[in-house]
Amino acid sequence: MSRVHDALRRAESGGAIAETPPVAVEAPPAPVEPSRVAMEAPRAPVEPSRIAVEAPRVPVGPSRVAVEAAVEAPREPEVQVLPVVVAPQPVRTTPESGPLMEALAVAYRPAPESHLLDLNNSHETPAEEFRTLRTRLNHLQTLQPLHTLIVSSSSPAEGKTFVTVNLALAEAQLADNLVLLGDFDLRRPVIHNLFQIDRAPGLSDYLSGKCRFSEALRRIEGANLYVMPAGSPVKNPLELLNTRQARLMFEDLPRHFNWSIFDTPPLLFSADANLLSTLADGTVLVVKIGATTFDNVTRAMQSLCENNVVGIVANGARASELYSKYTYYYSKAE
């Protein structure tokens, strides 16, 4: 500063002033207050969502936990009541009305060596097996519409006709249980021989329009059983069964009978049983112990395409092995 003042005094006195290079004078930095620095520091923008997230939470005390536990107490499980499904029963005619009254009555005269069971004899052990089969089928009938039933096997000589006829006899023993036994094996019919009745008129005559439905029936005296024999021989049984008249007959049978049980040809030898399985409510497959192979059973089930197969009946059991319990029970003195 003294040098500046000396230069000014010399200029005032008129003396020549030598040019002096300017001197850069650095101004001292102004003191910065700490409080101002803190105030002018850049602040990051605060997002509203972050404020909500980072807001302090109130700790839950024991009393609050107790209140929430009381509010959120478990509820009692609700009891779901399932509806009871009962198969609808068709309005059925009586033997005193309709075509059943016009059916020809015949005596029950089974042929010798026909193996038809005397169901009035309770000590006959095979009859108990057919009563068991009858009970199971009647139970299924309460769960689903089951009034028309076909019985078949994979191969001949496995006992399908034996099971068909005796099952129909077992069902006919029940009161107010009208049963129709039909011979749908138009290729080799035998039911008319077992009951010693005429073959015609029968099923084929009714389907071809040669007779009325009542004329194709035979009423067995002393039982709730009606028999429909095969009828007159035909050249093409499958074409006769695959008619509108056959489908209408299956639809109309539950109006007259509680059970309609039909004997059919073997599954692996003709397509008749396969066709009839699509018209009937259920199918029963008969196998013979020691004769029917597993491969034949598999092929028979595949040919049916699982069309309402309600069960399999094992035929040909030894009486000494299967029926020993009945022999022991009935041998006891009362």
What are the tens digits of pLDDT across the range 188-245? 999 999 999 999 999 999 999 999 999 999 999 988 999 999 999 999 999 999 999 9
Q: Determine, yes or no, domain membership for 47.
A: no
With a cut of 50, say whether residue 263 has pLDDT above it: yes
The single-letter DSSP state of residue 260 is: E
- Write out the DSSP string of 225-240: EEEE---S--S-HHHH
**Average pLDDT of 131-154?**
95
The single-letter DSSP state of residue 78 is: P
Domain count, the chain: 1
Residue whose token pair is 């010693």: 196
**Which of these, 116, 101, 198, 230, lies nearest to 163 by C-alpha position?**
116
Question: Do 240 and 233 meet the contact criterion of CB atoms below 8 Å apart?
Answer: no
The Cα 201–Cα 73 span in angstroms is: 77
Q: What contacts 263, CB < 8 A, 6 or more positions away? A: 151, 160, 161, 164, 165, 181, 182, 183, 184, 185, 191
With a cut of 50, say whether residue 149 has pLDDT above it: yes
Distances (CA, A) of 301 to 90, 106, 148, 284, 290: 30, 37, 19, 11, 19
Backbone angles phi, psi at 153, to 5 degrees: -145, 170
What are the tens digits of pLDDT across the range 74-133? 555 554 555 545 555 665 666 656 778 899 999 999 998 888 887 566 566 678 889 999
CATH assignment at residue 177: 3.40.50.300
- SS3 helix, strand, coil % of the chain, rounded to 5? 40, 10, 50
| Per-residue model confidence (pLDDT) at position 316 | 87
Q: Which of 13-27, 97-111, 268-282, 316-330 has the weakest average pLDDT?
A: 13-27
Q: Determine, yes or no, domain membership for 184.
A: yes
The Cα 147–Cα 281 span in angstroms is: 6
Q: Determine, yes or no, domain membership for 87.
A: no
Average pLDDT, the chain: 79
Q: How confident is the model at residue 17 (pLDDT cuts 50, 70, 90)?
A: very low
Q: Determine, yes or no, domain membership for 111.
A: no
Q: Determine, yes or no, domain membership for 155.
A: yes
The range of the structural domain enclosing residue 232 comes to 129-329
Q: Determine, yes or no, domain membership for 226.
A: yes
Q: How far is CA 250 from the centre of its chain?
A: 23
Q: Determine, yes or no, domain membership for 5.
A: no
With a cut of 60, say whether residue 253 has pLDDT above it: yes
Q: What contacts 12, CB < 8 A, 6 or more positions away? A: none
Helix residue spans in the chain (DSSP H)? 2-12, 34-40, 48-53, 62-71, 125-143, 160-172, 191-195, 203-207, 237-241, 244-252, 272-279, 294-304, 319-322, 324-331
Q: Determine, yes or no, domain membership for 90.
A: no
